[in-house]
Structure 1
Amino acid sequence: MSKVVPCMWFNGDAEEAAKFYVSLVPDSEITHVQHNVSDGPSGKEGSVVVVEFTVAGQPLVALNGGMKVDYTHAFSLMIHCDDQAQVDSVWSAILAHGGKEQQCGWIYDRYGVSWQVVPKVMFDFLTSPDKAAAARAMQAMMKMVKLDVDVLRRAFEGRSAA
């Protein structure tokens, strides 16, 4: 059966990036490392050319493409976090390794890849049949950098953020 697997372009640090990514959340691992069979644009013979890995069970590929290519936030990797502790853990790990915080739960990692670090409960809030509650949660999220489950819940429930 065919699968769609995102392939991320790196310039010599694909394996380093993959090792970092699999350290972020459970159910993550490097599944295969392919080395160059000869010298070429992606590196010297024996150097890493492709790393296959999973993050939270999602297959991904990191490719050492042989030149620097910038990422855009038009494509991001979203991590559905179980709770605030996991949001904090993933966020802190990305930030501590050279990440740059963005608005609304978005953060760039040191390689320029855009991530969305989102508590699973946020999807419950935003898809609620109570449109006013969903709107309050969305408005609260729009004011945040790292998402805060308690503040989002209070907004959703119509309670003060104090």
Structure 2
Amino acid sequence: MKVTQHLWFEKDMEAAIGFYATLIPGSSVHWVTPVMADTPSGPAGSVKIASFTLGDQRYMAIEAGPLDPFNHSFSIMVECETQGDLDRLWDALREGGSVEQCGWLKDRWGLSWQIAPTRLGELMSDPDPDKVRRVTAAMLKMVKLDIAPLEAAAAG
């Protein structure tokens, strides 16, 4: 069995997935094609579908006009090894979008992302509950996550 996430774009699907593929190493757009039959969303050729990979995750996408907008019930989480990688990805995705607490943002297409340092998961799974509380308290004060203050909170 294969599991693939599927995204529905109202418009600009090719621009969105092409942009995403440039941001995350190991990503690529495999194919984009118009649907050559009439669909409930429009006449032949007005609907496009695509296959792409972000890092090691497979995705399909469709551009078929308005249906349900993206919301927080689905997000793409990217764990970054360095603050530089986190900053680069955050800055690119937030352009034209909006930022939120705790490393969340919405890109210009309305898709929710969580941009987090890999180190956060390590700190949050520490066996010391006091350390975890301090790290959590520090994270909850942040919009874009920052590794150095999280490490300082862990150290006490």
**Bin for the TM-score computed over the shorter chain:** over 0.9
**Range 113-122 or range 29-38, more displaced:** 29-38
Matched, 1:73 2:72: yes
Matched, 1:5 2:4: yes
Q: Which AA in structure 1 matches 2:84? A: A
- Does the CA contact (< 8 Å) of 1:42 and 1:65 recur in 2? yes
Pick one of 100, 103, 108 that aligns with 1:102. 100
Matched, 1:111 2:109: yes
Pick one of 120, 125, 128 that aligns with 1:127. 125
Q: What TM-score results when the alignment is normalised by the length of structure 1?
A: 0.89
- Does the CA contact (< 8 Å) of 2:81 and 2:117 recur in 1? yes
The whole-number CA distance in structure 1 between the counterparts of 2:13 and 2:140 is 33
- Does the CA contact (< 8 Å) of 2:46 and 2:64 recur in 1? no
3-state DSSP class of the match of 1:151?
helix
**TM-superposed deviation, 1:65:** 2.4
**Range 54-63 or range 102-111, more displaced:** 54-63
**Where in structure 1 are there 5+ consecutive unaligned residues?**
none
Q: Residue 156 of structure 1 aligns with which residue?
A: 154
**TM-superposed deviation, 1:67:** 2.0
**TM-superposed deviation, 1:151:** 0.6
**Where in structure 2 are there 5+ consecutive unaligned residues?**
none
3-state DSSP class of the match of 1:23?
helix
3-state DSSP class of the match of 2:144?
coil
- Does the CA contact (< 8 Å) of 1:10 and 1:69 recur in 2? no
Tell me the percent identity.
Answer: 39
**CA deviation profile, 1:53-90 (whole Å, cap 9, x unmatched):** 11112111111123242111122110011110011000
Q: What TM-score results when the alignment is normalised by the length of structure 2?
A: 0.92
**TM-superposed deviation, 1:3:** 1.6
Alpha carbons of structure 1 residues 102 and 6: separation in structure 2 relative to 1, 3 Å = same
- Does the CA contact (< 8 Å) of 1:41 and 1:65 recur in 2? no
Give the alignment of 1:30-69 within 5 angstroms. Answer: 30-42=29-41, 45-46=44-45, 49-69=48-68
RMSD: 1.5
Q: Residue 140 of structure 2 aligns with which residue?
A: 142
The whole-number CA distance in structure 2 between the counterparts of 1:57 and 1:43 is 32
- Does the CA contact (< 8 Å) of 1:15 and 1:62 recur in 2? no
Structure 1 runs, 4 residues or longer, greater than 3 Å off: 38-48
**TM-superposed deviation, 1:12:** 2.7
